[in-house]
């Protein structure tokens, strides 16, 4: 069967790989000049580095198995890492159990309740029972108001650009489970990893496998319309011409899907239009030396414009990225955020001013490259009860399938959850077209 896959992000490439491996003839259409989407790379001097930061955790078994399957497992690397909190002008380590017990922002009873919060998440198995509870209600119930005020609230405000009032407790449940699963040993040391060459190493390996199986990857080729006749897919319109196919899989974000289906209406189409997304403004600094001792620094100071400090070269060997020390400074934004409209120079000026305040020893002379990257679609914004509006894999048109980020809920958006979902979706599509 000839299947068109629309969208060349990590979901689209993974899906095309799994479908071609199952024996289908696949054509992957990507509008830009590079596959990978948010997992794509940019050039810094003579090297390619991740445009946005990505991590493979030691618990990401699907990503590791996929790397093995593709013959690139020898390019996986893991290292122990550390994290910290920045609060009131000071850094507080939060890497080991000892750090946790000594955390000065919380009283002894608060620390005990924080531990109970993590345990409650770890022991909870049915996420649907958390769906109608707000994240604030759940965190206050288990951890107390003081821990919420000093710890959780600032991080939630930063992560969701202030919009977390109706966020379901499933978010923090999924985050705590994922974080807890990567800690090892008595010290509870964090482990983080990467593929040499970034996530693009995985994506390019899948692309080679697609082409080896007879599939085709077409860059700079936006699909204008999925052609429907008598309630079934008959092809896709590209550059004004119809290219026949027996099935089409759209991996675009839900609000972008209806424009490919002109004339198709119904409640499920209106649901697609209703989804809201978080975007991101991210500054990438390539330094000639380390900035801090930590992989991740969570920021509770609401005056700082960026969400955190992510220094990926604490788990990525700098030798694999041209000797640079890579620091990502993301700001997650709603579409109304003025930061999306600011110029690169305005953003860099504001970001570097606050970075200097946080780390007085930092000098602009350390910077070898500085870039600003923006994306409007990073992850869907969920509200309580919204899981009932998640788009179906198979809408009521024969041969049409939708595979997107909303469907991984309540899992977090990362390479592990996206490639795992693509595999499951490919299996369901095969059953439908068999």
Mean pLDDT in residue range 66-90: 94
How confident is the model at residue 187, as a pLDDT?
Answer: 46
How confident is the model at residue 124, as a pLDDT?
Answer: 83
pLDDT in tens, 394-421: 999 999 999 999 999 999 999 999 999 9
Res. 200: pLDDT tops 70: yes
Topology adopted by domain 191-196+277-380: Polyamine Oxidase; Chain A, domain 2 (3.90.660)
pLDDT in tens, 209-242: 999 999 999 999 999 999 999 999 999 999 999 9
How confident is the model at residue 186, as a pLDDT?
Answer: 45
Mean pLDDT in residue range 380-404: 95
Mean pLDDT in residue range 139-164: 92
Topology adopted by domain 2-54+198-275+383-433: FAD/NAD(P)-binding domain (3.50.50)
Fold match, 2-54+198-275+383-433 / 191-196+277-380: no
Distance CA 39, CA 62 (A): 17
Boundaries of every domain in the chain: 2-54+198-275+383-433, 107-156+165-183, 191-196+277-380
How confident is the model at residue 372, as a pLDDT?
Answer: 98
Lowest mean pLDDT among 16-30, 73-87, 318-332: 73-87
Q: Give the mean pLDDT of the chain.
A: 94
């Amino acid at each position: 069967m000839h299947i068109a896959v629309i969208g060349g992000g990590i979901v689209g490439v993974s899906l095309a790989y799994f479908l071609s491996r199952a024996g289908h003839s696949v054509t992957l259409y990507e509008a830009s000049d590079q596959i990978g989407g948010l997992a794509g790379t940019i050039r810094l001097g003579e090297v390619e580095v991740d445009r946005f930061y990505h991590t493979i955790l030691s618990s990401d078994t699907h990503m590791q198995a996929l790397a093995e399957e593709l013959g690139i497992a020898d390019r996986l690397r893991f290292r122990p890492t550390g994290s910290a909190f920045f609060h009131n002008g000071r850094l507080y380590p939060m890497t080991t159990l000892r750090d946790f017990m000594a955390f000065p922002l919380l009283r002894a009873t608060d620390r005990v309740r924080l531990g109970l919060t993590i345990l409650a998440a770890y022991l909870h198995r049915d996420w649907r029972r958390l769906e109608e509870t707000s994240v604030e209600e759940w965190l206050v119930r288990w951890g107390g108001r003081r821990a919420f005020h000093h710890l959780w609230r600032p991080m939630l405000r930063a992560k969701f650009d202030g919009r977390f009032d109706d966020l379901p407790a499933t978010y923090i449940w999924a985050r705590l489970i994922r974080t807890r699963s990567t800690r090892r040993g008595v010290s509870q040391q964090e482990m983080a990893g990467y593929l040499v060459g970034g996530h693009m190493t995985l994506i390019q390996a899948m692309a080679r496998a697609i082409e080896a199986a007879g599939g085709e990857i077409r860059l700079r080729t936006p699909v204008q319309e999925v052609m429907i006749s008598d309630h079934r897919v008959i092809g896709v319109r590209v550059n004004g011409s119809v290219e026949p196919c027996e099935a089409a899989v759209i991996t675009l974000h839900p609000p972008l899907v209806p424009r490919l289906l002109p004339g198709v209406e119904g409640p499920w189409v209106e649901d697609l239009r209703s989804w809201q997304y978080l975007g991101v403004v991210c500054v990438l600094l390539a330094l000639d030396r380390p900035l801090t001792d930590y992989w991740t620094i969570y920021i509770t100071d609401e005056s700082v414009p960026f969400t955190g400090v992510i220094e990926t070269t604490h788990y990525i060997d700098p030798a694999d990225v041209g000797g640079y020390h890579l620091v990502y400074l993301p700001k997650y934004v709603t579409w109304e955020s003025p930061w999306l409209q600011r110029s690169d120079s305005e953003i860099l000026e504001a970001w570097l001013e606050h970075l200097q305040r946080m780390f007085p020893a930092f000098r602009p002379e350390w910077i070898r490259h500085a870039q600003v990257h923006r994306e409007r679609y990073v992850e869907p914004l969920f509200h309580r009860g919204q899981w009932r509006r998640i788009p179906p894999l198979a809408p009521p048109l024969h041969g049409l399938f939708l595979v997107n980020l909303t469907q991984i809920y309540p899992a977090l958006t990362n390479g592990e959850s996206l490639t795992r979902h693509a595999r499951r979706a490919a299996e369901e599509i095969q059953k439908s077209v068999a």
